[in-house]
Amino acid sequence: MNRFENVDVLAALDQLMRQNTAFYRNDFEIDKEIIGWAAASDKAEDKTLLWMSRPSGTYCFRESDVYLQGTAQHNTWKFYGEQTRDRVLAYAVELTGKVRGVIRGNLYELDYPQHFRHVAAEAVQADNIILHYEKGDREQPAGLYFDGRPDPNLGAFLRYEAKPNEPEHLRELLRHEQKGRAQLAPGDFKAHVTALHDSMILAEAQRIVAGLKDLSAPNSPNKTHFMVELSPYFVQIASSKDTDRLFSMLPYKSLCFTGMKDRHGLYAVIGKDENRDKEVRRPRASIRRQLSETKQAQASKKAPARTKKNELEV
């Protein structure tokens, strides 16, 4: 896990979203509004958010809301770990300010399977909610119905938030989370995005290989081939170059990617006599990249050349 400091928050999250979210990408427009509102807020608790990318959509919540039991934010954050096998990318987002109109901040990579369990175990109880109106606030039990209508005395309804039973406990919990994130090693964001993209292609190759191994008999319409559908999520995200890379990682001589009559989707198809007891073919490392990295490493070890300016400063 790494931290990525002083990034353009919206641009960075957009890049991450494109590595994992195939459908309902317009969810990110809602995230942008939430982040914009948080950036404009003068409250410290609004400056730290938790963001997730799923294959079908994204979510962005205040961290403090996620750690309150029974809230929609808490339940949603846990749901995709407890009830699905979705690949989830999760990050803590710390907003630090605006520079020339661009929202800047720090991103902290989260291990989602571990994090959602941590949230479930550590969340603070919240039995009441606060309803915020144009002219003031009103508190009521969390289970009591409200419909967001204007209040005769307080005016238009603005929003609501859960109220922790033990506010100091929540503050201490959030301080502990912040302290833990600060220990993460700084990372190269561009390299991180590249690694995510590579892992997406590798995961799809592994899924197809495993799927073909599991078939007990040819399953093509005419029963002459084995076939596994490419993930619709992968197909939606992948470029033609990505699909070519996937093809090169599958270890089958008779392999082809094709559609099927009267069926949706794209399929990896191999002959019934193909040996399916094989593993993913790892892509060969680029010789050009290896030479470039070696050259850079050697250059960094050399002493800097002395210049006239350096000599004058000695």
User: Is the torsion defined by CA of 130, 162, 14, 243 positive or negative?
Assistant: negative
Q: Which letter does DSSP use for residue 156 in this model?
A: S
State whether 223 and 260 are in the same domain: yes
Which tokens in the block code for residue 168? 């100091």
Are residues 231 and 111 both part of a single domain? no
Q: Quote the domain boundaries for residue 235.
A: 191-300
pLDDT at 310 over 90: no
Same domain, 15 and 110: yes
Q: In total, how many domains does the chain have? A: 2
Q: What is the DSSP string of 85-145?
A: ----EEEEEEEEEEETTEEEEEEEEE-HHHHHHHHHHHPBP--EEEEEETTEEEEEETTS-
| pLDDT surpasses 50 at 313 | no
User: Are residues 49 and 180 located together in one domain of the fold?
Assistant: yes
Q: What is the pTM of this model?
A: 0.84
What pLDDT score does 291 carry? 54
52 belongs to a structural domain = yes
Is pLDDT at 15 greater than 50 in this prediction? yes
Same structural domain for residues 196 and 238? yes
203 SS3 class: helix
Q: Are residues 87 and 222 in the same domain?
A: no
Residue 152, domain member (yes or no): no
Residue 305 lies in a domain: no
- Predicted pLDDT at 252: 95
CB 130 within 8 A of CB 161: yes
Q: How confident is the model at residue 293 (pLDDT cuts 50, 70, 90)?
A: low
The reply to whether 137 falls in a domain is: no
pLDDT of residue 298: 57
For position 256, what pLDDT does the model report? 95
Given a cut of 90, is residue 146 above it in pLDDT?
A: no
Residue 219 lies in a domain: yes
On whether both 250 and 262 belong to a single domain, the answer is: yes
Rounded Cα distance, 76 and 253, in Å: 44
Distance CA 218, CA 121 (A): 46
Edge to edge, what strands does the sheet with 267-271 contain? 225-229, 267-271, 256-258
Least confident of 158-167, 202-211, 224-233, 237-246: 158-167
> Residue 300: its pLDDT value, please?
47
pLDDT tens digits for range 199-225: 999 999 999 999 999 999 999 999 999
Q: Same structural domain for residues 108 and 91?
A: yes
In a domain, 110, yes or no: yes
Q: What is the mean pLDDT of residues 3-17?
A: 98
143 domain-assigned: no
Q: Are residues 217 and 261 in the same domain?
A: yes
What is the reported pLDDT for 148?
85
Residue 288 burial class via C-beta count within 10 angstroms: exposed 0-12, middle 13-18, buried 19 and up: exposed
Q: Which of 123-127, 262-266, 305-309 has the lowest mean pLDDT?
A: 305-309
Task: Tell me: do 38 and 169 sit in the same domain.
Answer: yes
Q: Is residue 313 part of a domain?
A: no
Same domain assignment for residues 216 and 249: yes
